[in-house]
Structure 1
């Protein structure tokens, strides 16, 4: 749908979670550095773990362990990281600047909104519950809600069905290439969250989203 009218209004906004609605990098990085400490490996700086924060536990562990990653017990370390993260899931996590205002405006204008993330449900649910600004989400779909996750379009179509909105009248906002791929496959409009954990602006622009938002406030034009 690239090249569409920038002033189009939507019946529903659907958001990715990490790197789009919430800045969760420091809690994820904290869990990673606890795992690294247990393995007698030096902690990694925020500049290292932040770009991997949207890509799951394995991506975080890979940047932490570096060349050692192929030779370690990956499944055990992944579970260790998830356990540590679950213990302190919302210590530092918070909405990105502008998100609370965008969600409030959607609600004031009776535009439905929901969340579709690849994060597993046992982590998604307590995290969403810990952030008051997300309490009014009308649908929350996790990476294991269905048998498939993004970049499959099925979770986004499922979210649109929960919202009782035609997918073609939805806008999906995310900060990873799989988000844009999933939206395209679901016949949804897409917006790249350039404030998120993108590898680079140039790379993000190459994904071909319908919109590229510098800030959540860019969404006001579609309300």
Structure 2
């Protein structure tokens, strides 16, 4: 396991793959706004970013559990998930923006003609309008969602599908994500992996236990690997 700056050796790849929420895009405030709209509708106190941000990469159920806390197991979960998703879909990119350093990284990849793509567990009906709303993502060679195939992360199949579409071998394709399932999927696909420590990780200490090949505190750390 290597951290940024731990070695002078350069690692260069033919393609980069990114998770979306918590890696390329800071979507937490839009997701948090959707969560708080559901909490208000159910006469539950709203929560702050300290509560919803750590859950932002883990799906609607995790967000709702963070908001409803001990009440969550006894509630009509499917109905509340639909309410949250509907609210989020209506305001999908109101506050969302690229994390600092992402845009120059993607521009550099484009200039060097290195392919890059997106593999997210977000469902396609949310992924597609979100990616379309962010100009910096317009050159993605491939965008694969959680429901594009029959399996999603931590299965390696979506990552292998991305590599095939980009015509690169997995061992030369670096996958970057901010959740344990990202690192698990990348390793299972035979790809080198990097943890986006700037994302929605539970803690640095826990993220380091995932044993990614690299642990980066900023997207700028990726420049040594281009």
* TM-score higher than 0.5: yes
| 2:118 alignment partner in structure 1 | 115
Alignment-derived partner of residue 185 in structure 2:
182
2:63 and 2:42 map into 1 onto residues whose CA distance is 15
Alignment of 1:121-132 (within 5 A): 121-132=124-135
2:206 and 2:72 map into 1 onto residues whose CA distance is 25
d(CA) in 2 for partners of 1:3 and 1:133? 28
Shift of 1:162: 1.0
Give deviations 1:29-61, integer Å, cap 9, x for gaps: 000000000000000001000000000000000
2:172 maps to 1:172: no
CA 1:110/1:48 → structure 2, altered by over 3 Å: closer, same or farther? same
What secondary structure, in the 3-state scheme, does the structure 1 residue paired with 2:51 have? helix
Aligned partners of 1:20 and 1:149: how far apart in 2?
A: 17
Distance in 2 between residues matched to 1:182 and 1:106, nearest whole Å: 23
1:8 positional shift: 1.3
- Give 2:158's match in structure 1, choosing from 139, 142, 155: 155
- Which residue of the partner structure matches residue 140 of structure 2? 137
Partner residue in 2 for 1:36: 39
Shift of 1:3: 5.9
- Equivalent residues in 2 for 1:1-223, closer than 5 Å: 2=1, 6-223=9-226
Aligned length: 222
Unaligned residue ranges in structure 2 (runs of 5+)? none
Q: CA RMSD in A?
A: 1.1
Query: Residue 195 of structure 1 aligns to a residue in which SS?
Result: coil
Deviation at 1:16, TM superposition (A): 0.1
Question: Normalising by the residue count of structure 2, what TM-score does the alignment of the two structures yield?
Answer: 0.97
Q: Distance in 2 between matches of 1:170 and 1:70?
A: 40
Query: Are the counterparts in 1 of residues 180 and 210 from structure 2 also a CA contact under 8 Å?
Result: yes
Q: Which runs of 5+ in 1 are unaligned?
A: none
Q: 1:168 & 1:176 partners in 2: Cα distance? A: 20
Q: Quote the Cα distance in structure 2 between the aligned partners of 1:218 and 1:170.
A: 16
CA offsets per residue over residues 192-214 of structure 1, 9 Å max, x none?
00000000001001100000001
TM-score by length of 1: 0.98
**1:7 Cα shift?**
1.2
